[in-house]
Amino acid sequence: MKEVRLHGRGGQGGVTSAELVAIAAIDEGKYAQAFPSFGPERRGAPVTAFIRVSENRIRTREKVYSPDIVVVLDASLPSLVNVAEGLRENGIVVLNTALKEAEIRKKFGIKARLALVDANTIAKEVIGMPITNTTMLGALLKATGIVGIDVLNEALDRRFGRLAEKNKAAMKRAYSETVVAG
């Protein structure tokens, strides 16, 4: 089973991202869960979402405390939250940032493998607004292959309808621009 924790801010689409990955995994014949964790926070407050993907039935329903993968939608969050907390050995942090690997390691002390992409720039240029959720899905797929890009494209079509094309283009660009290091 692969367990993923997503860190974002309210309104960035982290919960939607988790749902899209779970839908794509189910479409591939796997078992999956996606669920958020937040209280009465407002737009812009830190939000966490979780994904589990497995070839077998998933019996647990608790939060993901020891993820294999961490996805960070908002570049400011590693300054506020220890995003790598509980990350399993050989885990990976997929981070929205314009910084280089050495800068990330020095500034935030993340020792795990990294997948880095400037999702803010991609989202602004392709979608027209800095909502990074579908952009970061491209980085997640490149770093982990948790689901296939074709099946995720289908999930995007169903979720976003006519708006899907820009989201798929942002996801594809992020996939190609993501740098996996460590």
pLDDT tens-digit map of 79-108: 998 999 999 999 999 999 999 999 999 999
Going through the chain in order, the beta strands assigned E by DSSP cover 2-9, 31-37, 46-54, 69-72, 92-96, 113-117, 179-181
Q: What is the pLDDT of residue 44?
A: 76
Q: Between 173 and 39, whose confidence is greater? A: 173
Tokens at 22, concatenated: 């779970």
CA distance from start to end of the chain: 22
All structural domains of the chain with their residue ranges:
2-181
Spatial distance between the Cα atoms of 170 and 134, rounded to a whole number of angstroms: 7
CATH topology of domain 2-181: Pyruvate-ferredoxin Oxidoreductase; domain 3 (3.40.920)
Spatial distance between the Cα atoms of 39 and 30, rounded to a whole number of angstroms: 30
Q: How confident is the model at residue 42 (pLDDT cuts 50, 70, 90)?
A: low
Angle (CA) 77-133-101 rounded to 5° is 50
pTM assigned to the model = 0.94
